[in-house]
Amino acid sequence: MNIHEYQAKELFDRFQVPSPRGAVASTPEEAAAAAKEFAGAKLVIKAQVHAGGRGKGHFKNGFQGGVHLIESPEQAAEFASKMLNETLVTVQTGEAGRLVRKVMVAEAVDITHEYYLAILMDRATSRPVIVASTEGGMSIEDVAHNTPEKIIRQFVHPLLGLQRYEIGKLAAALGLSGDLGKQFGKLLANLYKLFIASDCSMVEINPLVTTPDGRVLALDAKFGFDDNALYRHPDIVAYRDKDEEDPREVAASEYDLNYIGLDGNIACLVNGAGLAMATMDIIKHYGGEPANFLDVGGGASKEQVTAAFKIILADPNVKGIFINIFGGIMDCNVIAEGVIAAAKETGLPIPLVVRLEGNNVEMGKATLDASGLDITSASTMADGAEKIVAAVS
């Protein structure tokens, strides 16, 4: 799960990670009111979407940039009206872009230098890793590619936690000493606390800045949370913005389905993550493109299968469906009944290839046969993949 920058600021405030004051707005009037609150200060206005690269992005209405310096409440309203309810395209959103529903008005600070600071969960070492660089503000991927020596990594022992000497090493590597070093150390220690306490998978500050008046501040924030730990963080779940998520994935999550939308036109309904991966591979092997990853799980109910099938059918890109089930715990007849229930409600306007094997397979096949639905059955996984690829091309 991800959150917006203005929500991230609330977490920063709670854990004493310094960042400029800011307020969120959904209308130009609210943006002007927020700007009045910070009267006297220089201000920025920032589009709030779950994607980075906003500063260098552009709106489909031709307006350039999702981050702007402004000087008055009038200007806040003017810029808000150019960004709100408009689509922002950045390197991270893809061509489709993201609709901006909120903006944040924040105090603008003078910047001496922009740094990069992130904490991630590193799978290879099973440890949190702090990633830092003096080359902040820009795309960290480019820095990693062009000047990999400028990326500093510090692994942290998960039980011992972040040590003072590790903080010192990082501060020194970034060239932060004296009072700036101290402020950086405090900020990083608090950020690490926030990362662990909130079960983050990632927290990224780009840029972290030093200012001419000697402060260290987080000017941007990106968070990722471990979905499996969200049950212990109702406060973070409350930050969820379903408008920012793939609607297909939102629907799937309501039925506890493991679903990830993809760009192809062949929908897959499979049980087991391994088989789902293999099914996507074999579709590609025969020249097709999968429209999704979908694992209905081992013990899916008829209702879940019905929901899964409906989500697939609601996707306008889908031109054919391949059901590939190896019933171990899964009862093949439950799949058959779920598919029929969904097809009865929505119709079956596109080709459906089914390969069923395993637990109660005879019953499952008989149920599908008796349904009168136009279904192509496949004897093996390869046979099924070939048939669905042929059907959509």
Size of the site for ligand ADP (CB under 6 A): 17
Contact in structure between 186 and 215 (CB atoms under 8 Å)? no
Q: What residue number has its CB nearest to Mg ion?
A: 220
137 or 168, CB closer to ligand ADP? 137
- One residue of 25, 44, 105, 266 binding ligand ADP per CB under 6 A: 44
List binding-site positions for substrate: 271, 328-330
Exactly one of 5, 114, 135, 220 binds Mg ion (CB under 5 A); that residue is 220
Report the alpha-carbon distance of residue 21 to residue 6 in Å, rounded. 10
The answer to whether 116 is a known catalytic residue is yes
Which residue among 5, 30, 135, 204 is the active-site one? Answer: 204
* Piece in contact with ligand ADP (CB under 6 A), picked from 30-38, 70-78, 106-114, 385-393: 106-114
* 244 binds Mg ion, rule: CB under 5 A: no
Nearest distance from C-beta of residue 142 to ligand ADP, angstroms: 13
**Is residue 306 a contact residue for Mg ion (CB under 5 A)?**
no
Asked whether position 83 contacts ligand ADP by CB under 6 A, the answer is: no
Q: Quick check: 77 binds ligand ADP (CB under 6 A)?
A: no
Q: Give the shortest CB-48-to-ligand ADP separation in angstroms.
A: 10
Residue from 223, 183, 281 nearest 5 by CA: 223
Among ligand ADP, Mg ion, none, the one that 53 touches (CB under a kind-dependent 5 to 8 A) is ligand ADP
Residue 135 touches Mg ion, criterion: CB under 5 A: no
Identify residues 137-156 at the interface with ligand ADP (CB under 6 A): 137
Nearer to ligand ADP, 187 or 219 (CB): 219
Q: How many helices (H) and strands (E) does the chain have?
A: 13, 19
Nearer to Mg ion, 107 or 315 (CB): 107
Tell how far CA 42 is from the center of its chain: 32
Question: Cα 166–172–174 angle (5° rounding)?
Answer: 105
Identify the residue among 97, 128, 207, 320 touching ligand ADP (CB under 6 A).
Answer: 207
Contacts of 135 (CB under 8 A, 6+ apart): 116, 143, 147, 150
Residue with structure tokens 């030093």?
A: 210
Mutual angle of helices 361-370 and 332-346, in 10-degree steps:
20
Tell me the C-alpha distance between 118 and 312, whole Å. Answer: 37
Q: Which of 19, 154, 206, 306 binds Mg ion (CB under 5 A)?
A: 206
What's the CA dihedral at 81, 47, 68, 203 to 10 degrees? 170
Of ligand ADP, Mg ion, none, which one sits near residue 106, judging by CB under 5 to 8 A according to partner kind? Answer: ligand ADP
| Segment near Mg ion (CB under 5 A); pick from 28-36, 204-212, 338-346, 347-355 | 204-212
Nearest to 257 by CA among 321, 306, 319: 306
CA separation for the pair 299, 46 (Å, rounded): 45
How far is it, in rounded angstroms, from Cα 75 to Cα 107? 14
Confirm if 84 and 100 have CB atoms less than 8 A apart. yes
The residues of the shown chain that bind ligand ADP, judged by CB under 6 A, are 20, 44, 46, 52-55, 67, 106, 108-109, 114, 137, 206-207, 219-220
Catalytic annotation, residues: 116, 204
